[in-house]
Amino acid sequence: MSNMHRESLFESDFMRLFVRHEPVLRAYARTLLPDWNLVDDALQEASVTMWEKRGQLEDSSGFLPWAKVIVRFKCLSMIATLRRSRLLLSDEVLQQLAEEAEALQAEELTAIRQALSHCLSKFDQAHQELLLAPYSGDGRVQELAALCGKSANAFYKLLGRLRDKLADCVRIQLQLEGL
């Protein structure tokens, strides 16, 4: 087989493609997995598999759908073991979500992210901090609650309201952009 040339060309391409599509793959994995730590684990494992199987790829346009199949498979196999310890949606619903999330593209994510940045800036500093707390480490929400002398439960209620507000703002913002 005379594909040595192809392969050496592809190694640098692979890195570039992986880095470019990582946010979409991450979001895709998050559709299936219940938290971000698991998503990171899945992505890491999937990246190794992708590397091993990069020979399947014909060109860069095929990368994302192909990578999604691998990510999906990793997530589903993780879910099988997670089910014992975590509260998860049923396999049928997860399968369906995975199918429907297939269409998710980088452009859409970028648009959502820009809308988020814009909307976030409308909140005051303390609320921004709370909105970002769930991604700033396990227990960060409780930590903030303790700092303010409130119960964690009350804080989650507040967080819920803030998130609703943020989501509304994002939706309007995206509609303005025709998405």
Partner 1 sequence: MNPRSLLDRYLLGEVTEADVRQLDRLLAHQPELRREYIRAVAAESGLREIALERSVHSTAPAQLRQSRQWRFWGIAASVVAVLLLMVLLIPTNQSADTVATLVSSENAAWESALPTLPGSQLTAGTLKLRTGIATLGFPSGAELILEAPAQIELISTMRCRLLDGVALVEVPESAVGFIVETPSGYAVDYGTCFSVKVDPDRGESDFELIEGEIGVHHASTGDEIRLTQPNHGVKASAETLRAQSREELEEMASATTGLVRIGTDGRATSVLPNNKRHKFVDPEVLSVRKTENGKWDYRSFFSFDLTGVEFNNVRSARLRLNLVPSRRGLASRLPLKNQFGVYGLTNSDKADWSIDATWEDSPTPEDGVLLGTFEILRSAQRGTYGIANEELLQFLRQNSDRNVTLILVRLTTQIEGKGPVLTHMFASDSHPEAVGPLLELTLDRTAQKPPETQR
Q: Which is nearer to partner 1, 2 or 81 (CB)?
A: 2
Q: How far is the CB of 87 from partner 1 (least distance, A)?
A: 5
| Residue 91 token pair | 């396999």
Q: Which is nearer to partner 1, 56 or 61 (CB)?
A: 56
Q: How far is the CB of 149 from partner 1 (least distance, A)?
A: 18
Going from the C-alpha of 70 to that of each of 33, 64, 77, 104, 166, the distances in angstroms are 14, 10, 11, 15, 32
- Terminal-residue alpha carbon distance, the chain: 46
Residues contacting residue 98 through CB under 8 Å, at least 6 positions apart: 28, 31, 32, 72, 75, 76
| Residue 40 token pair | 């990171």
Q: How far is the CB of 172 from partner 1 (least distance, A)?
A: 13
Q: Which is nearer to partner 1, 22 or 60 (CB)?
A: 22
Q: How far is the CB of 80 from partner 1 (least distance, A)?
A: 12
Q: Which is nearer to partner 1, 60 or 109 (CB)?
A: 109
